[in-house]
């Protein structure tokens, strides 16, 4: 997402620099010509600063420029972007830092966000009101890249794109795969972003080349994205843009922009709807073809050409407050 933002801003003639904490991530996969550095703390200069928000991040990367808090994690509004879980389970799955961030925001009523000049929520709605301007600008999809690039496989293929993290729901996908493999004689399961596969699910490492990922979406028949935490879900848009229907979790952040048919509340719901899509594909009617058409129409609402100008306008408006 950051690379996409930076790429578009560079095309417009802006100067862009990216700064990151030297934790887990690395800039070695950045393939565009921009300034990238990792620091534990840094004073920054510029006309506008966009933060991937975590509590107190503005104290580590300090600037006198207007600041935007981009809410790309469930830690600010977990009721909007995370399935309900008990505290022990949440602590076990996400660790002490995520728990601390959530309770810090909850106990202080998100007072930390008042140190920013605006908030960006990458969805079509904002979950609740805060005392500073909120921009609801969804993530976008590049329809020049994510489009039907290959014919559908002759074998019904269901894909998962994400990681093995509990929050992405790969365990749910695998349970669905085990059941459907017993019900359908010829079926294929693919998982992108999972390090190690098995005889049931063929796995691929994380794919950095969008055109290769679009090929996999395009040749598949269904994406199952049982995420337990999402602010938006760009994976869903990429699949829809390639003409591949999706089934996903009932997070409010998903229901904000997806039709109810794509939403699954239980494991049984996933299986029932997946079987219906399989039967539609097998039939000689136009039912499955219409699903692919409707998928692309939905994705077209989030075309980069439509959405990015709104993001750029937000940066300009907030920067003008300096």
The CATH fold of domain 156-300: Rossmann fold (3.40.50)
Nearest to 113, CA basis, from 95, 126, 125: 126
Nearest to 28, CA basis, from 40, 38, 42: 38
Residues of the chain below pLDDT 50: 27
Helices (H), 48-86: 57-60, 78-81
Q: Say if residues 82 and 99 touch (Cβ distance below 8 Å).
A: no
pLDDT, tens only, 64-82 = 999 999 999 999 999 999 9
pLDDT value at position 208? 80
∠ Cα 253 256 261 (to 5°): 105
Nearest to 300, CA basis, from 257, 250, 261: 257
Q: Say if residues 242 and 291 touch (Cβ distance below 8 Å).
A: no
Q: Say if residues 40 and 34 touch (Cβ distance below 8 Å).
A: no
Return the number of other C-beta atoms located less than 10 Å from residue 95's C-beta.
Answer: 10
pLDDT, tens only, 259-303 = 999 999 999 999 999 999 999 999 978 999 999 999 999 999 999
- pTM for this predicted structure: 0.93
pLDDT, tens only, 20-34 = 988 765 545 556 667
Q: Which helix (H) or strand (E) holds 186?
A: none
**Length, in residues, of the chain:** 322
pLDDT value at position 27? 47
pLDDT value at position 199? 87
Where in the chain are the domains?
2-140+304-319, 156-300
């Amino acid at each position: 997402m950051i690379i996409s933002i930076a790429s578009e801003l560079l095309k417009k003639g802006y100067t862009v620099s990216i700064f990151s904490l030297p934790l887990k991530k690395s800039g070695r996969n950045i393939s565009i010509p921009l300034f990238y550095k990792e620091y534990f703390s840094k004073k920054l200069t510029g006309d506008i600063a966009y933060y991937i928000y975590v509590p107190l991040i503005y104290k580590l990367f300090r600037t006198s420029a207007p600041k935007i808090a981009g809410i790309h994690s469930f830690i600010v509004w977990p009721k909007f972007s995370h399935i309900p879980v008990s505290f022990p389970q949440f602590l076990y799955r996400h660790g002490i830092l995520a728990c601390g961030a959530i309770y810090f925001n909850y106990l202080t009523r998100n007072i930390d966000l008042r140190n920013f000049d605006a908030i960006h929520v990458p969805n079509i709605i904002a979950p609740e009101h805060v005392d500073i301007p909120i921009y609801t600008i969804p993530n976008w999809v590049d329809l020049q890249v994510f489009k039907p690039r290959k014919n559908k496989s002759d074998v019904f293929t269901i894909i998962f794109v994400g990681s093995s993290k509990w929050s992405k729901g790969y365990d749910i996908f695998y349970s669905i795969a085990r059941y459907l493999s017993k019900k359908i004689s010829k079926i294929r399961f693919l998982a992108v972003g999972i390090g190690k596969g098995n005889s049931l699910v063929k796995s691929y490492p994380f794919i950095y080349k969008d055109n290769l990922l679009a090929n996999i979406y395009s040749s598949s028949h269904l994406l199952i994205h049982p995420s337990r935490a999402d602010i938006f879900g760009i994976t869903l848009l990429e699949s829809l843009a390639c003409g591949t229907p999706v089934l996903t979790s009932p997070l409010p952040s998903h229901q904000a922009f997806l039709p109810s048919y794509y939403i699954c509340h239980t494991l049984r719901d996933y299986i029932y709807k997946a079987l219906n899509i399989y039967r539609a594909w097998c039939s000689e009617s136009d039912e499955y073809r219409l699903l692919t058409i409707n998928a692309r129409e939905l994705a077209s609402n989030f075309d980069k050409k439509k959405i990015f100008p709104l993001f750029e306008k937000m940066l300009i408006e907030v920067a003008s407050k300096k």
